[in-house]
Structure 1
């Protein structure tokens, strides 16, 4: 009799155990699923909030005279490819810090009030990454003994230059060019591989301005160019002088044709040379077609 009572007790208890186990297994999945929708909601809200804030100048995207910033861009590259001074581009766009631009930002690259359809440059593919060196940093300048004598520069020339640059932006008149160095060309122009002329030489050989103009950049912020001088001659033409050992001019300085502006070097180059470019509305053109016969 006791044995049968124990057997009956086991049989009665079994459904209760199964019921308890069933309740526990059915509850867990519900508890795991419920928090998931609540956790995803804040992320969606953040994404929606981010999408409603367009980058600066987005309303001008695609318009003539404007440029949309891409990944890897820097202001000096944008200005060079559009035939402008980076200082002017910064001023036209109200950039408090010219070293901070964002992807998708749309920048004005022609002067306000200018017919953009006539003055817009044709951008080209970047020749390399741009270093994040501050644009306002002063470049190394040679000692006064190595610089050209101040007496050779007319004191009133800087006052005349702005008036010259304020002429029609579509002005295509080429300056009276001169050669930047006395050495022969070592590598010719190639639109895809070499956007200018190369001249081999010795370290310290003089580099000359090929025409009157104003220095719009003197520094080392463009990777692949080393110590670089850029001169703006008018609203159409810029010239660039790369790989210098020393730069003898500063930004905003007026220069004359034939003035010594740098010393040939090998900065960011495997040999001593001058890499020389002519840009027409930002587009590289073959300098050999513009320079006078030797």
Structure 2
């Protein structure tokens, strides 16, 4: 479950440094994608002047604009291949797990490279692959906090420079249920309730927002400078899109359990593409 994608991230970051336009990372993640990246929300439509008299033509144009906006923001349904994980509990067998997830023992064994009579150990993670119909939600206009031009330029300037460190805030309120372990985990997991806010740990640019990597579920990647980025995985709903400038403390997602066996956000800090322990960059640990 915790197999590191260091090579993929490093490749993506090398492409980012070539222009920081997000193209390298989008291509990287798109190559692994089962579905297209999250839909771009429509921009706000201009509001009519109440003092102006409406004409049939302007009324028709407004209706057409409203219809186009509604169509653009409508959820999109897709059939995708989903990879989820379950943790083995004491007494579980392949037969019991296969039956509870409506899959065959043969498939379950093949996905996990096990023999049909293999004995399982408590805490072991098993992969389950399925075809599922999902609805990709477009972020509703107004969910992301607006940023004026001056603020956006300041964030863009920070993203474009090298830095020896980054100052972060906690991306979610909750208990750390999975600590960082070099070579084993990619980051820390912070547990909570479905729908709890997930916030940007620092100012930055959203380099990716979508469902491109199976093990991450709904994923957001934020670049803070040329050396540091953060990632937020397993979200229930994304509230930003690729290319957005976000600010520290701004809500960017809702916590969920997408491709995870518990409601939690997997929070990663990457330096030069390599996962590092987020704790030294965060304030005093949450109680």
What's the TM-score once normalised by structure 2's chain length? 0.55
Q: Partner residue of 2:175? A: 184
Aligned to 1:272: 263
2:154 equivalent in structure 1: 160
Residues 218 and 200 (structure 1), Cα distance of their counterparts in 2 relative to 1, 3 Å cut: same
The answer to whether the Cα contact below 8 Å between 1:79 and 1:89 also exists between their aligned partners in 2 is no
Using the size of structure 1 for normalisation, the TM-score is 0.54
Q: Give the distance between the partners of 2:13 and 2:156, measured in 1 at CA.
A: 14
1:146-167 per-position Cα deviation (integer Å, ceiling 9, x unaligned): x1443xx333222333333332
The answer to whether the 8 Å contact 1:135/1:221 transfers is yes
C-alpha distance in 2 between matches for 1:227 and 1:100? 12
Structure 1: where are the runs of 5+ without partners? Answer: 1-75, 103-129
Residues 1:80 and 2:9 are matched in the alignment: yes
Selected match of 1:244 from 226, 230, 235: 235
| Contact 1:236–1:281 (Cα < 8 Å) also in 2 | yes
The list of structure 1 runs, each at least 4 consecutive aligned residues, that deviate by more than 4 angstroms after superposition, is 76-79, 85-92, 99-102, 134-139
- Give the match's secondary structure for 2:157: helix
Please identify the structure whose Cα radius of gyration is greater: 1
Q: Give the alignment's Cα RMSD to 1 decimal.
A: 3.3
Alpha-carbon distance, 1:281 to partner: 0.4
TM-aligned CA deviation for residue 223 of structure 1: 1.3
1:283 is the counterpart of 2:274? yes
Q: Please, which runs of 5 or more residues in structure 2 have no aligned partner?
A: 41-135
Task: Please identify which structure carries the higher helix content.
Answer: 1
Contact 2:209/2:240 (8 A) holds in 1: yes
Between the two proteins, the alignment pairs up a number of residues equal to 184
Give the deviation of 1:136 after TM superposition: 8.3
